[in-house]
Amino acid sequence: MTDEILIHDEKPWLELLQEVVVYGTSRRVQFRARPDYRLIVAEMQVVR
């Protein structure tokens, strides 16, 4: 069994990384953060 097959099929470790995402915007921009981290400009609004 090659290492590549072992890692793909049996995965001998757990991934314990939790990625932190920080958004910085103007107070005039309103948007809701998406769970898939995509930024869709059509869903954003500029307020006064």
Task: Please state the domain count of the chain.
Answer: 1
For residue 34, tell me if it sits in a domain: yes
Integer CA distances (angstroms), 24 to 8, 11, 21, 27, 31, in order:
37, 36, 10, 9, 11
* 45: helix, strand or coil: strand
pLDDT at 5: 63
pTM score, two decimals? 0.46
Amino acid at 22: V
Integer CA distances (angstroms), 9 to 14, 15, 17, 27, in order:
13, 15, 20, 47
Which residue range(s) make up the domain with 24?
Answer: 16-48
In order along the chain (48 residues), what is the average pLDDT of each group of 10 residues? Answer: 62 73 89 89 92
Amino acid at 12: P
pLDDT at 19: 79
